[in-house]
Chains A and B, each alone.
Chain A
Amino acid sequence: MLVLNCPYCGLDKDETELSAGGEAHLKRFGPGSSDEDFEGYLFERTNPKGLHFERWRCAFGCGKWFHAARCTATLEVFGTYKAQTLEPPKVIKDVITTKRPGWSWRNFS
Protein backbone atom coordinates (compact mmCIF):
# COMPACT_ATOMS: atom_id res chain seq x y z
CA MET A 1 0.00 0.00 0.00
CA LEU A 2 1.41 3.35 -1.06
CA VAL A 3 1.25 5.90 1.77
CA LEU A 4 1.57 9.65 1.08
CA ASN A 5 1.46 12.48 3.57
CA CYS A 6 -1.06 15.14 2.61
CA PRO A 7 0.71 18.51 3.03
CA TYR A 8 -2.62 20.24 3.79
CA CYS A 9 -4.20 18.09 6.48
CA GLY A 10 -0.80 16.76 7.53
CA LEU A 11 -2.00 13.16 7.76
CA ASP A 12 -0.53 10.00 6.27
CA LYS A 13 -2.99 8.68 3.71
CA ASP A 14 -3.26 5.18 2.26
CA GLU A 15 -3.57 5.12 -1.51
CA THR A 16 -7.19 3.99 -1.12
CA GLU A 17 -7.93 7.43 0.37
CA LEU A 18 -6.26 9.27 -2.49
CA SER A 19 -6.75 9.61 -6.20
CA ALA A 20 -3.86 9.85 -8.63
CA GLY A 21 -3.81 12.84 -10.96
CA GLY A 22 -0.92 12.09 -13.32
CA GLU A 23 2.24 14.00 -14.21
CA ALA A 24 2.89 17.23 -12.30
CA HIS A 25 4.12 20.66 -13.41
CA LEU A 26 2.61 20.50 -16.90
CA LYS A 27 2.41 23.86 -18.59
CA ARG A 28 -1.09 24.41 -19.82
CA PHE A 29 -1.57 25.33 -23.48
CA GLY A 30 -4.95 26.40 -24.74
CA PRO A 31 -6.59 28.00 -27.78
CA GLY A 32 -4.14 29.92 -29.92
CA SER A 33 -1.15 27.74 -29.05
CA SER A 34 0.68 25.68 -31.66
CA ASP A 35 -0.53 22.16 -32.45
CA GLU A 36 2.76 20.84 -31.13
CA ASP A 37 2.42 22.56 -27.74
CA PHE A 38 -1.20 21.54 -27.42
CA GLU A 39 -0.40 17.91 -28.21
CA GLY A 40 2.47 17.97 -25.75
CA TYR A 41 0.29 19.38 -23.00
CA LEU A 42 -2.61 16.99 -23.61
CA PHE A 43 -0.88 13.72 -24.43
CA GLU A 44 2.92 13.48 -24.31
CA ARG A 45 4.09 12.15 -20.98
CA THR A 46 7.49 11.65 -19.38
CA ASN A 47 6.42 8.27 -17.95
CA PRO A 48 9.88 7.67 -16.43
CA LYS A 49 11.20 4.50 -14.86
CA GLY A 50 12.56 6.10 -11.71
CA LEU A 51 12.01 9.53 -10.21
CA HIS A 52 8.63 11.05 -11.02
CA PHE A 53 6.67 14.11 -9.95
CA GLU A 54 2.92 13.65 -9.78
CA ARG A 55 -0.34 15.30 -8.81
CA TRP A 56 -2.43 13.59 -6.17
CA ARG A 57 -5.71 14.46 -4.52
CA CYS A 58 -6.61 13.89 -0.89
CA ALA A 59 -9.92 12.56 -2.21
CA PHE A 60 -11.45 11.07 0.93
CA GLY A 61 -9.76 13.58 3.22
CA CYS A 62 -9.48 17.32 2.92
CA GLY A 63 -10.12 17.16 -0.84
CA LYS A 64 -7.09 19.22 -1.85
CA TRP A 65 -4.67 18.60 -4.71
CA PHE A 66 -1.00 18.24 -3.80
CA HIS A 67 2.27 17.04 -5.37
CA ALA A 68 4.41 13.99 -4.67
CA ALA A 69 7.97 13.05 -5.66
CA ARG A 70 8.20 9.30 -6.00
CA CYS A 71 10.22 6.54 -7.66
CA THR A 72 8.18 4.43 -10.09
CA ALA A 73 10.76 1.64 -10.08
CA THR A 74 11.05 1.11 -6.30
CA LEU A 75 7.89 2.90 -5.06
CA GLU A 76 10.06 4.95 -2.65
CA VAL A 77 8.46 8.27 -1.71
CA PHE A 78 10.82 11.27 -1.55
CA GLY A 79 8.27 13.74 -0.24
CA THR A 80 5.04 15.63 -0.85
CA TYR A 81 4.44 19.36 -1.24
CA LYS A 82 1.65 21.83 -1.83
CA ALA A 83 0.29 22.41 -5.29
CA GLN A 84 0.75 26.21 -5.45
CA THR A 85 4.17 26.05 -7.06
CA LEU A 86 5.57 25.73 -10.58
CA GLU A 87 8.48 23.56 -9.50
CA PRO A 88 9.47 21.27 -6.63
CA PRO A 89 10.66 23.20 -3.54
CA LYS A 90 14.31 23.11 -2.50
CA VAL A 91 13.72 20.80 0.50
CA ILE A 92 12.26 18.13 -1.77
CA LYS A 93 15.06 18.56 -4.32
CA ASP A 94 17.63 18.19 -1.52
CA VAL A 95 16.07 14.95 -0.32
CA ILE A 96 16.15 13.58 -3.86
CA THR A 97 19.77 14.68 -4.33
CA THR A 98 20.88 12.70 -1.28
CA LYS A 99 19.07 9.60 -2.52
CA ARG A 100 19.52 9.93 -6.30
CA PRO A 101 22.65 12.06 -6.86
CA GLY A 102 22.75 13.67 -10.31
CA TRP A 103 19.00 13.27 -10.88
CA SER A 104 17.13 15.13 -13.54
CA TRP A 105 13.47 15.18 -14.58
CA ARG A 106 12.25 17.19 -17.55
CA ASN A 107 13.94 20.60 -17.05
CA PHE A 108 14.49 20.19 -13.32
CA SER A 109 17.62 18.86 -11.64
Chain B
Amino acid sequence: MADQKIASRTQVNLVGLGKADYRGNPSTLCQGCGHNSISSQIIAACYELDILPEQIVKFSGIGCSSKSPTYFLGRSFGFNGLHGRMPSLATGALFGDHTLRGLAVSGDGDTASIGMGQFKHVLRRNLRLVYIVENNGVYGLTKGQFSATAEVGLYLKGQGSNPYMPVDIAWEALVGNATFVARSFAGDPKQVKELIKAALSHRGIALLDIISPCVTFNNKDTAVHSYAWGKEHEVALHELSYVPPAEEIMVDYEEGEIQEVTMHDGSKVILKKLEHDYDPYNRAEAMRILEEANAKQWLLTGLIYIDPDKPSLLDIYNLTETPLNRLTENRLRPPRESIKQVNDLMF
Protein backbone atom coordinates (compact mmCIF):
# COMPACT_ATOMS: atom_id res chain seq x y z
CA MET B 1 0.00 0.00 0.00
CA ALA B 2 1.81 3.12 1.19
CA ASP B 3 5.42 3.14 0.11
CA GLN B 4 7.50 1.33 2.64
CA LYS B 5 10.62 2.99 3.82
CA ILE B 6 13.60 0.88 2.90
CA ALA B 7 15.02 -0.37 6.12
CA SER B 8 18.57 0.45 6.84
CA ARG B 9 20.37 -2.75 5.89
CA THR B 10 23.25 -1.88 8.15
CA GLN B 11 21.32 -2.96 11.19
CA VAL B 12 18.68 -5.63 10.86
CA ASN B 13 17.19 -8.18 13.23
CA LEU B 14 16.88 -11.92 12.73
CA VAL B 15 13.93 -11.57 10.37
CA GLY B 16 15.94 -9.12 8.28
CA LEU B 17 14.07 -6.00 9.27
CA GLY B 18 15.41 -2.70 10.46
CA LYS B 19 13.90 -0.70 13.25
CA ALA B 20 12.22 1.56 10.69
CA ASP B 21 10.11 -1.38 9.57
CA TYR B 22 8.45 -1.31 12.98
CA ARG B 23 7.62 2.37 12.95
CA GLY B 24 4.33 3.94 11.99
CA ASN B 25 3.23 7.39 10.90
CA PRO B 26 4.66 10.37 12.77
CA SER B 27 2.82 10.94 16.04
CA THR B 28 0.31 13.77 16.24
CA LEU B 29 0.16 13.60 20.03
CA CYS B 30 1.55 16.40 22.23
CA GLN B 31 5.29 16.68 22.69
CA GLY B 32 6.23 14.85 25.87
CA CYS B 33 3.01 12.82 26.08
CA GLY B 34 3.65 9.54 27.91
CA HIS B 35 1.84 7.68 25.15
CA ASN B 36 4.63 8.51 22.69
CA SER B 37 7.28 6.94 24.85
CA ILE B 38 5.19 3.77 25.15
CA SER B 39 4.88 3.64 21.34
CA SER B 40 8.68 3.80 21.14
CA GLN B 41 9.00 0.87 23.49
CA ILE B 42 6.49 -1.17 21.49
CA ILE B 43 8.61 -0.53 18.39
CA ALA B 44 11.81 -1.46 20.21
CA ALA B 45 10.34 -4.58 21.81
CA CYS B 46 8.96 -5.96 18.54
CA TYR B 47 12.19 -5.19 16.71
CA GLU B 48 14.30 -6.86 19.35
CA LEU B 49 11.96 -9.86 19.51
CA ASP B 50 12.35 -10.40 15.74
CA ILE B 51 8.61 -10.52 15.29
CA LEU B 52 7.32 -10.02 11.77
CA PRO B 53 4.97 -7.05 11.87
CA GLU B 54 2.52 -9.10 9.79
CA GLN B 55 2.28 -11.40 12.80
CA ILE B 56 0.70 -8.71 14.94
CA VAL B 57 -2.74 -7.13 14.81
CA LYS B 58 -3.25 -3.81 16.60
CA PHE B 59 -6.44 -2.71 18.28
CA SER B 60 -7.57 0.38 20.08
CA GLY B 61 -10.64 2.22 21.27
CA ILE B 62 -10.99 6.01 21.20
CA GLY B 63 -8.77 8.56 22.93
CA CYS B 64 -5.30 10.05 22.49
CA SER B 65 -3.92 6.71 23.68
CA SER B 66 -6.09 4.84 21.22
CA LYS B 67 -4.75 6.94 18.37
CA SER B 68 -1.23 5.75 19.02
CA PRO B 69 -1.39 2.43 17.10
CA THR B 70 -1.10 4.52 13.93
CA TYR B 71 2.31 5.62 15.18
CA PHE B 72 3.90 2.17 15.43
CA LEU B 73 4.01 -1.05 13.42
CA GLY B 74 2.85 0.45 10.13
CA ARG B 75 3.13 -2.95 8.51
CA SER B 76 0.70 -4.55 10.92
CA PHE B 77 -3.03 -4.69 10.43
CA GLY B 78 -4.90 -2.60 12.94
CA PHE B 79 -8.29 -1.36 13.90
CA ASN B 80 -9.20 1.77 15.77
CA GLY B 81 -12.72 0.89 16.93
CA LEU B 82 -15.25 2.48 19.27
CA HIS B 83 -14.83 4.16 22.61
CA GLY B 84 -14.75 1.47 25.27
CA ARG B 85 -15.53 -1.39 22.91
CA MET B 86 -12.12 -2.46 21.67
CA PRO B 87 -12.06 -5.80 23.53
CA SER B 88 -15.01 -7.27 21.65
CA LEU B 89 -13.59 -6.18 18.31
CA ALA B 90 -10.26 -7.79 19.16
CA THR B 91 -11.99 -10.96 20.34
CA GLY B 92 -13.85 -11.39 17.08
CA ALA B 93 -10.90 -10.46 14.91
CA LEU B 94 -8.43 -12.83 16.54
CA PHE B 95 -10.69 -15.77 15.72
CA GLY B 96 -9.80 -15.04 12.11
CA ASP B 97 -6.27 -16.39 12.36
CA HIS B 98 -5.07 -18.17 15.49
CA THR B 99 -1.41 -17.63 14.55
CA LEU B 100 -1.68 -13.88 15.06
CA ARG B 101 -0.91 -11.98 18.23
CA GLY B 102 -3.11 -9.13 19.32
CA LEU B 103 -1.68 -5.91 20.68
CA ALA B 104 -4.14 -3.40 22.05
CA VAL B 105 -3.79 0.12 23.34
CA SER B 106 -6.49 1.75 25.40
CA GLY B 107 -6.85 4.68 27.77
CA ASP B 108 -8.03 4.87 31.34
CA GLY B 109 -11.28 6.40 30.15
CA ASP B 110 -11.59 3.88 27.36
CA THR B 111 -10.98 0.98 29.73
CA ALA B 112 -12.13 1.97 33.20
CA SER B 113 -15.08 4.28 32.43
CA ILE B 114 -17.07 3.51 29.31
CA GLY B 115 -15.25 0.25 28.67
CA MET B 116 -15.25 -1.35 32.12
CA GLY B 117 -17.66 -4.09 31.03
CA GLN B 118 -15.76 -5.25 27.98
CA PHE B 119 -12.45 -4.90 29.82
CA LYS B 120 -13.54 -7.28 32.58
CA HIS B 121 -15.02 -9.79 30.16
CA VAL B 122 -12.05 -9.99 27.85
CA LEU B 123 -9.94 -10.79 30.92
CA ARG B 124 -12.10 -13.74 31.94
CA ARG B 125 -11.99 -15.09 28.38
CA ASN B 126 -8.18 -15.02 28.40
CA LEU B 127 -7.90 -13.83 24.82
CA ARG B 128 -4.31 -13.90 23.60
CA LEU B 129 -3.89 -10.14 23.66
CA VAL B 130 -1.38 -7.67 25.00
CA TYR B 131 -3.71 -5.12 26.55
CA ILE B 132 -1.92 -1.85 27.33
CA VAL B 133 -3.78 0.83 29.25
CA GLU B 134 -2.06 4.19 28.88
CA ASN B 135 -3.28 5.53 32.16
CA ASN B 136 -3.12 9.32 32.71
CA GLY B 137 -6.04 9.87 35.07
CA VAL B 138 -7.71 12.16 32.61
CA TYR B 139 -9.53 12.30 29.30
CA GLY B 140 -6.91 13.72 26.98
CA LEU B 141 -8.75 13.75 23.70
CA THR B 142 -11.85 15.52 25.01
CA LYS B 143 -9.59 18.05 26.73
CA GLY B 144 -9.09 17.35 30.35
CA GLN B 145 -12.08 15.86 32.14
CA PHE B 146 -11.69 13.42 35.03
CA SER B 147 -11.31 9.78 34.18
CA ALA B 148 -12.26 6.92 36.47
CA THR B 149 -8.66 6.48 37.61
CA ALA B 150 -8.28 10.08 38.80
CA GLU B 151 -7.52 10.32 42.52
CA VAL B 152 -10.02 11.84 44.97
CA GLY B 153 -9.43 15.55 45.32
CA LEU B 154 -7.53 15.96 42.05
CA TYR B 155 -8.15 19.49 40.85
CA LEU B 156 -8.45 20.05 37.10
CA LYS B 157 -8.94 23.34 35.33
CA GLY B 158 -12.57 23.82 34.38
CA GLN B 159 -13.61 20.65 36.23
CA GLY B 160 -13.14 21.48 39.89
CA SER B 161 -12.12 18.83 42.32
CA ASN B 162 -12.74 15.10 41.80
CA PRO B 163 -15.23 13.77 44.38
CA TYR B 164 -15.11 10.06 43.51
CA MET B 165 -12.91 7.14 44.46
CA PRO B 166 -10.54 5.96 41.73
CA VAL B 167 -10.58 2.64 39.88
CA ASP B 168 -7.34 0.68 40.19
CA ILE B 169 -6.91 -1.04 36.84
CA ALA B 170 -4.34 -3.60 37.99
CA TRP B 171 -6.56 -4.52 40.91
CA GLU B 172 -9.58 -4.90 38.64
CA ALA B 173 -7.55 -7.10 36.33
CA LEU B 174 -6.44 -9.31 39.17
CA VAL B 175 -9.94 -9.67 40.56
CA GLY B 176 -11.16 -10.22 37.00
CA ASN B 177 -9.02 -13.38 36.64
CA ALA B 178 -6.43 -11.92 34.30
CA THR B 179 -3.52 -14.31 33.77
CA PHE B 180 -0.84 -11.61 33.44
CA VAL B 181 -1.04 -8.35 35.36
CA ALA B 182 1.71 -5.73 35.33
CA ARG B 183 2.04 -2.09 36.14
CA SER B 184 4.65 0.22 34.79
CA PHE B 185 5.51 3.85 34.23
CA ALA B 186 6.16 5.62 30.92
CA GLY B 187 9.06 7.29 32.72
CA ASP B 188 10.71 3.86 33.13
CA PRO B 189 11.17 2.88 29.46
CA LYS B 190 13.39 -0.11 30.07
CA GLN B 191 10.87 -1.79 32.31
CA VAL B 192 8.06 -0.95 29.87
CA LYS B 193 9.98 -2.62 27.05
CA GLU B 194 10.79 -5.80 28.98
CA LEU B 195 7.20 -6.09 30.14
CA ILE B 196 5.92 -5.72 26.57
CA LYS B 197 8.26 -8.51 25.49
CA ALA B 198 7.05 -10.76 28.25
CA ALA B 199 3.45 -9.87 27.43
CA LEU B 200 3.95 -10.77 23.78
CA SER B 201 5.13 -14.22 24.90
CA HIS B 202 2.12 -14.79 27.12
CA ARG B 203 -0.37 -17.46 26.22
CA GLY B 204 -3.46 -15.48 27.17
CA ILE B 205 -4.33 -11.94 28.09
CA ALA B 206 -1.55 -9.68 29.40
CA LEU B 207 -2.75 -6.53 31.08
CA LEU B 208 -0.26 -3.69 31.34
CA ASP B 209 -1.44 -0.72 33.35
CA ILE B 210 1.13 1.89 32.36
CA ILE B 211 1.04 5.28 34.04
CA SER B 212 1.46 7.58 31.08
CA PRO B 213 1.36 11.27 31.99
CA CYS B 214 -0.76 13.70 30.04
CA VAL B 215 1.54 16.69 29.89
CA THR B 216 -1.22 18.98 28.73
CA PHE B 217 -4.01 18.32 31.22
CA ASN B 218 -2.75 16.37 34.23
CA ASN B 219 0.94 16.76 34.94
CA LYS B 220 1.11 18.88 38.09
CA ASP B 221 3.78 17.52 40.43
CA THR B 222 1.15 16.66 43.04
CA ALA B 223 -1.02 14.64 40.65
CA VAL B 224 -0.49 10.90 40.95
CA HIS B 225 -0.39 10.43 37.18
CA SER B 226 2.34 13.06 36.67
CA TYR B 227 5.96 12.44 35.73
CA ALA B 228 7.24 14.03 38.90
CA TRP B 229 5.01 12.01 41.19
CA GLY B 230 5.85 8.82 39.35
CA LYS B 231 9.60 9.41 39.51
CA GLU B 232 9.39 10.09 43.20
CA HIS B 233 7.02 7.28 44.16
CA GLU B 234 7.95 4.42 41.88
CA VAL B 235 8.64 1.23 43.79
CA ALA B 236 9.73 -1.56 41.44
CA LEU B 237 8.91 -5.08 42.59
CA HIS B 238 11.97 -6.40 40.79
CA GLU B 239 14.34 -5.68 37.97
CA LEU B 240 12.96 -7.41 34.96
CA SER B 241 14.63 -8.87 31.90
CA TYR B 242 13.24 -10.99 29.13
CA VAL B 243 15.14 -13.92 27.63
CA PRO B 244 13.78 -15.35 24.35
CA PRO B 245 13.12 -19.08 23.98
CA ALA B 246 16.23 -21.20 23.39
CA GLU B 247 18.57 -18.40 24.43
CA GLU B 248 21.00 -18.90 27.27
CA ILE B 249 20.81 -16.74 30.35
CA MET B 250 24.10 -14.91 30.07
CA VAL B 251 24.42 -13.12 33.37
CA ASP B 252 25.49 -14.89 36.53
CA TYR B 253 23.21 -14.31 39.43
CA GLU B 254 23.77 -14.97 43.09
CA GLU B 255 21.81 -17.81 44.66
CA GLY B 256 18.35 -16.52 45.64
CA GLU B 257 18.87 -13.26 43.83
CA ILE B 258 16.56 -14.03 40.96
CA GLN B 259 13.30 -15.71 40.16
CA GLU B 260 12.75 -17.22 36.73
CA VAL B 261 9.31 -17.20 35.18
CA THR B 262 9.01 -19.63 32.29
CA MET B 263 6.48 -18.46 29.75
CA HIS B 264 4.30 -20.86 27.77
CA ASP B 265 6.43 -20.38 24.63
CA GLY B 266 9.63 -21.31 26.46
CA SER B 267 10.95 -17.79 26.91
CA LYS B 268 11.93 -16.65 30.36
CA VAL B 269 11.38 -13.57 32.42
CA ILE B 270 14.16 -13.02 34.92
CA LEU B 271 13.03 -11.14 37.99
CA LYS B 272 15.96 -9.77 39.94
CA LYS B 273 15.18 -9.20 43.55
CA LEU B 274 15.19 -5.66 44.86
CA GLU B 275 14.04 -4.70 48.37
CA HIS B 276 11.15 -7.14 48.61
CA ASP B 277 10.77 -10.84 48.17
CA TYR B 278 8.01 -11.15 45.64
CA ASP B 279 6.37 -14.18 44.08
CA PRO B 280 4.31 -13.24 41.00
CA TYR B 281 2.57 -16.64 40.93
CA ASN B 282 0.78 -15.86 44.17
CA ARG B 283 -2.56 -14.15 43.61
CA ALA B 284 -3.28 -13.45 47.26
CA GLU B 285 0.15 -11.88 47.65
CA ALA B 286 -0.51 -9.78 44.56
CA MET B 287 -3.66 -8.43 46.12
CA ARG B 288 -1.90 -7.75 49.37
CA ILE B 289 0.94 -5.85 47.76
CA LEU B 290 -1.48 -3.71 45.75
CA GLU B 291 -3.23 -2.82 49.00
CA GLU B 292 0.08 -1.99 50.63
CA ALA B 293 1.13 0.13 47.66
CA ASN B 294 -2.13 1.97 47.88
CA ALA B 295 -1.75 2.65 51.57
CA LYS B 296 1.86 3.73 51.23
CA GLN B 297 1.30 5.81 48.11
CA TRP B 298 3.77 3.84 46.01
CA LEU B 299 3.65 3.66 42.28
CA LEU B 300 4.23 -0.08 42.41
CA THR B 301 5.66 -1.40 39.15
CA GLY B 302 6.65 -4.76 37.74
CA LEU B 303 5.09 -8.13 37.03
CA ILE B 304 2.39 -8.33 39.67
CA TYR B 305 0.83 -11.63 38.76
CA ILE B 306 1.24 -14.39 36.22
CA ASP B 307 -0.36 -17.72 35.37
CA PRO B 308 1.62 -18.66 32.25
CA ASP B 309 -0.09 -21.85 31.19
CA LYS B 310 -3.84 -21.23 31.38
CA PRO B 311 -5.35 -22.04 27.96
CA SER B 312 -6.30 -19.03 25.93
CA LEU B 313 -9.72 -18.38 24.45
CA LEU B 314 -8.79 -19.83 21.09
CA ASP B 315 -7.16 -22.88 22.67
CA ILE B 316 -10.52 -24.00 24.02
CA TYR B 317 -12.38 -23.73 20.72
CA ASN B 318 -10.73 -26.72 19.02
CA LEU B 319 -10.34 -24.82 15.76
CA THR B 320 -8.71 -26.01 12.56
CA GLU B 321 -4.96 -25.63 12.20
CA THR B 322 -5.66 -23.74 8.97
CA PRO B 323 -6.61 -20.23 10.05
CA LEU B 324 -10.38 -19.88 9.95
CA ASN B 325 -10.17 -16.99 7.53
CA ARG B 326 -8.40 -19.17 4.97
CA LEU B 327 -11.06 -21.88 4.89
CA THR B 328 -12.81 -22.08 1.54
CA GLU B 329 -16.31 -23.11 0.54
CA ASN B 330 -15.54 -26.84 0.47
CA ARG B 331 -14.70 -26.67 4.16
CA LEU B 332 -17.42 -24.25 5.17
CA ARG B 333 -20.55 -25.42 3.38
CA PRO B 334 -21.77 -28.88 4.39
CA PRO B 335 -21.96 -31.32 1.46
CA ARG B 336 -25.08 -31.61 -0.66
CA GLU B 337 -26.13 -34.93 0.93
CA SER B 338 -26.43 -33.30 4.32
CA ILE B 339 -29.54 -31.37 3.36
CA LYS B 340 -31.50 -34.61 3.54
CA GLN B 341 -30.23 -35.22 7.03
CA VAL B 342 -31.33 -31.71 7.99
CA ASN B 343 -34.82 -32.26 6.64
CA ASP B 344 -35.09 -35.59 8.45
CA LEU B 345 -34.25 -33.79 11.68
CA MET B 346 -37.15 -31.41 11.11
CA PHE B 347 -39.80 -34.17 11.64
Partners in one complex: no
**Interface residues in chain B, defined as those with a beta carbon under 8 Å from any beta carbon in chain A:** none
